[in-house]
Structure 1
Amino acid sequence: MTDFIGEIAALSAACLWAVASIVYAKLGARIPPLQLNLIKGIIAIALFVFTIVVRGEIFPAIATLPMSLILLSGVIGISLGDTAFFITINCLGARRALLMQTLTSPMSAIFGLIFLQEKLNILAGCGILLTILGVAWVVSERTTDVKQISTTEFRRGITFGLLTAVAGAIGAVLSRSAFSINTNASINPLWAALLRLSAGILILMIWTLFKQHSFRLSNLRDSRTITATIFAAFCGTYLGIWLQQTAIKFTSVGIASTLLQTSPIFVIPFAIWMGEKVSIRAILGVFISIAGIALLFYLK
């Protein structure tokens, strides 16, 4: 089982992100996206610090280069990538934005091949492609929640959707590079997650002050809203990013990114549980993705 620690961590993160996305969809009507992003990040940072204190893990002796790569990964992947993703959602809607985000997987594999010399055989490539096709088939299904958009909005959404995918791929490759560098001290995924998130949130805070956005705590006066926000931050940001960094450390960046993009597949069981109607197409898409995931595990 330890041979699959990276793959299991990636799928676990995707599942938790699916749970968190359902909660964030409800919170989005009450809290502006940028403010919600900052709040969940701050909560997750506090949880990371608490975990590190409880576990008694002192600050690791990380060399300058891997430290810089991790911090830069947070700036690009979280600050730039998440912001671009929010804009994509506003322009294209949630389903089309998720479809654009699936491009992160092949881009990560390509960047990993170019910059990290991570080679994938033909069968592994087929597994990645099969997984992406399954996810894409699910999120591209025509439903009543797909909004009608103008040509200008469409072009803007496509542009920022591509930026989201590129930023996510670069962030993943930078993290993988930090783990791959041979140093005397191995980087703990827990510390990597804290450093990456802290860098991303710091840039978001500076950007918020620069843009003079109002940060109102009045949105969190409702106890149910506070509880939901803490729960989503715990699942999606704290555990999600920790597991993401674990996945990137223990498996190739192409496979990790592919499995991390399977969140839409995990949403379906929750949708059925919540009483929503799920089409045969969506279920078939799940089985296609599962076939791709099984192929990736088999090749390991």
Structure 2
Amino acid sequence: METNAALGYMLALGAATCWAIGSMLSTGPVRKFGAIHFNMLRMFIISGMLFGYVLLTNSWGQPVLGDISILLVSGFTGIFLGDTLLFTCVKKLGPRLAGLLFATNAPMTFLVGFLLLGENHKVSNFVGVSLVFSGVLIALMFRDTDKNLNSSWDHQNDGWIWGVVAGLGAALFQSIGSLIAQPVIQKGFDPVFASAIRVSIGFVALLVTASSRGPLLQQYRDKQLNRRDVLHITASGIFGMGVGMTLLLAAMKFAPVGTVAILSATTPIILLPILWYITRKPPNIYSFAGALLVVIGTGLVFA
């Protein structure tokens, strides 16, 4: 195994772990504030951190306007649309099922390439797509049998169908956003600067959306924003967006994108022991089976 490829694999696993932690930290605040207000504050904090890092390290290089434009489109698609739908899913279903649904971004990337870009694929790739969606279906079908998980972490009783739609939409827009950004990253564009650009356009779009509902400060006062909320949202952003997405983009620079997609899709499996540790109660066998099928299927998608 080449050193660069091994580094890319470790970075991809690191991204998956960061997303698992970030998802756990997001659950409480996103249910309190809603996806738009939660994600806007999160994007504001993280864009400041990322641009601060870029300025301190002088890592922006000599960006080409065309590359920046591509990253802006990628950010609007993957961050504004994808992340907002993802946190809508977390609010409705909890981090476990949201993680499984979001893992369908790998087969969706495959399907977008096959249907829109005319890419050729093997039968095993289509088997992988079927396994991923089967794993998600198993987890959803048997969600009500998992009585061991604390209800505050697991799915809510109302609006779970919209949660599923939001999760699948998040996966689709994230896959499109990643495909848009991939050529720019592979040319050597700094991954932290790329993340900063993508996050900033996501924040602007969220700001415009939230501002259409009235004065922003009053909206947050009405939702009783406090210091603890800010700390949770900041930590969620650092793990999920600041570190997680940067690790993913860096992994794409060192390792094949297919393998990176497989390893970064292990978030549903990583989430299970974290939930087990927090609740002191194991998830049911269907949760493990569904998560395992998702990861195996993702591997076959890019085999």
**What whole-Å deviation, never above 9, does each CA across 1:143-186 have from its counterpart, x for those lacking one?**
35444457xx73x5555444323211110110113234x5xxx2
Change in Cα spacing, 1:214 to 1:23, as seen in structure 2 (3 Å) is same
**What whole-Å deviation, never above 9, does each CA across 1:126-146 have from its counterpart, x for those lacking one?**
667656655665566423544
The answer on whether the counterparts of 1:74 and 1:171 sit within 8 Å (CA) in structure 2 is yes
CA RMSD of aligned residues (A): 3.4
Question: Structure 1 residue aligned with 2:226, among 216, 221, 231?
Answer: 221
Report the CA distance between 1:201 and its aligned residue.
1.0
Give the residue type in structure 2 aligned to 1:234: I
Across the two proteins, how many residue pairs are aligned to each other? 288
Please list, as runs of the form range in 1=range in 2, the aligned pairs for 1:87-126 lying within 5 A after superposition: 87-89=88-90, 93-94=93-94, 96-113=97-114
Larger deviation: 114-123 or 70-79? Answer: 114-123
C-alpha separation in 2, matches of 1:266 and 1:246: 20
Give the residue type in structure 1 aligned to 2:170: T
Q: TM-score, normalised by structure 2?
A: 0.77
The answer on whether the counterparts of 1:101 and 1:165 sit within 8 Å (CA) in structure 2 is yes
Please list, as runs of the form range in 1=range in 2, the aligned pairs for 1:174-185 lying within 5 A after superposition: 174-180=180-186
The answer on whether the counterparts of 2:132 and 2:293 sit within 8 Å (CA) in structure 1 is yes
The answer on whether the counterparts of 2:25 and 2:236 sit within 8 Å (CA) in structure 1 is yes
Percentage identity across paired residues of the two chains: 23
Give the residue type in structure 1 aligned to 2:105: T
Determine the structure 1 residue equivalent to 2:286.
281
Determine the structure 2 residue equivalent to 1:54.
56
Change in Cα spacing, 1:252 to 1:108, as seen in structure 2 (3 Å) is farther
Determine the structure 2 residue equivalent to 1:24.
26
Determine the structure 1 residue equivalent to 2:78.
77
Structure 2 residue ranges without an equivalent (≥5): 148-153
C-alpha separation in 1, matches of 2:299 and 2:34: 38
The answer on 1:260 being equivalent to 2:264 is yes
Change in Cα spacing, 1:161 to 1:16, as seen in structure 2 (3 Å) is closer
The answer on whether the counterparts of 2:107 and 2:132 sit within 8 Å (CA) in structure 1 is no
**What whole-Å deviation, never above 9, does each CA across 1:177-209 have from its counterpart, x for those lacking one?**
3234x5xxx211111111111111111112222
C-alpha separation in 2, matches of 1:221 and 1:227: 9
Larger deviation: 68-77 or 285-294? Answer: 285-294
Give the residue type in structure 1 aligned to 2:79: I
Determine the structure 1 residue equivalent to 2:13.
11
Change in Cα spacing, 1:105 to 1:78, as seen in structure 2 (3 Å) is same
Report the CA distance between 1:99 and its aligned residue.
4.2
Report the CA distance between 1:296 and its aligned residue.
9.1
C-alpha separation in 2, matches of 1:265 and 1:9: 17
Report the CA distance between 1:210 and its aligned residue.
2.4
**What whole-Å deviation, never above 9, does each CA across 1:209-240 have from its counterpart, x for those lacking one?**
22336345554433x33333322221112101
C-alpha separation in 2, matches of 1:290 and 1:106: 11
The answer on whether the counterparts of 1:108 and 1:257 sit within 8 Å (CA) in structure 2 is no
Please list, as runs of the form range in 1=range in 2, the aligned pairs for 1:182-261 lying within 5 A after superposition: 186-212=188-214, 214-215=216-217, 216=219, 218=221, 219-222=224-227, 224-261=228-265
Give the residue type in structure 1 aligned to 2:270: F
C-alpha separation in 2, matches of 1:23 and 1:89: 11
Determine the structure 1 residue equivalent to 2:177.
171
C-alpha separation in 2, matches of 1:290 and 1:161: 17
Instruction: Report the 3-state secondary structure (helix = DSSP H, G, I; strand = E; otherwise coil) of the residue aligned with 1:211.
Output: coil
Report the CA distance between 1:242 and its aligned residue.
0.7
The answer on whether the counterparts of 1:45 and 1:194 sit within 8 Å (CA) in structure 2 is yes
C-alpha separation in 1, matches of 2:140 and 2:49: 32
Give the residue type in structure 2 aligned to 1:176: Q
